[in-house]
Amino acid sequence: MNNTIQRYAGADWIQKTLGIKHISLLGRRVADCLGEVYRGIYHLNQTSLKKTDWTAERCVTVTISGSLWGHEVQVLLDLCQQHELKFAIDGRSPNYMRLSFWEKQ
């Protein structure tokens, strides 16, 4: 895994603010990537963040509202490549999407 400098809040913020004691290595990588994409994971809906299973070892799925624009998609692609993750984006309902993340094998 490439070591990148984290500029925005991610996994540490989730543990501290949402009171989640254990986050898997995959969950930490996903939270840190989303923190960079959204310039702080706290910009995502806290209810969605609380419902996410950050302890998952195989797949972390986050449902978010809103859109991902071109630049945000590019940043997400770059970060996932750096962190050796693959991801999928699925529509859930109007204005909601599900982002699923796995480790590259």
Domains contained in the chain, CATH given: 11-103 (3.30.980)
41-81: pLDDT as tens digits: 999 999 999 999 999 999 999 999 888 888 889 999 999 99
Is-contact 29 1, C-beta < 8 A?
Answer: yes
pLDDT digits (tens, 9 = 90+) for 7-48: 888 999 999 999 888 999 999 999 999 999 999 999 999 999
pLDDT at 4: 57
Q: What is the pLDDT of residue 67?
A: 81
pTM, 2 dp: 0.87
Residue 2: is its pLDDT beyond 70?
no
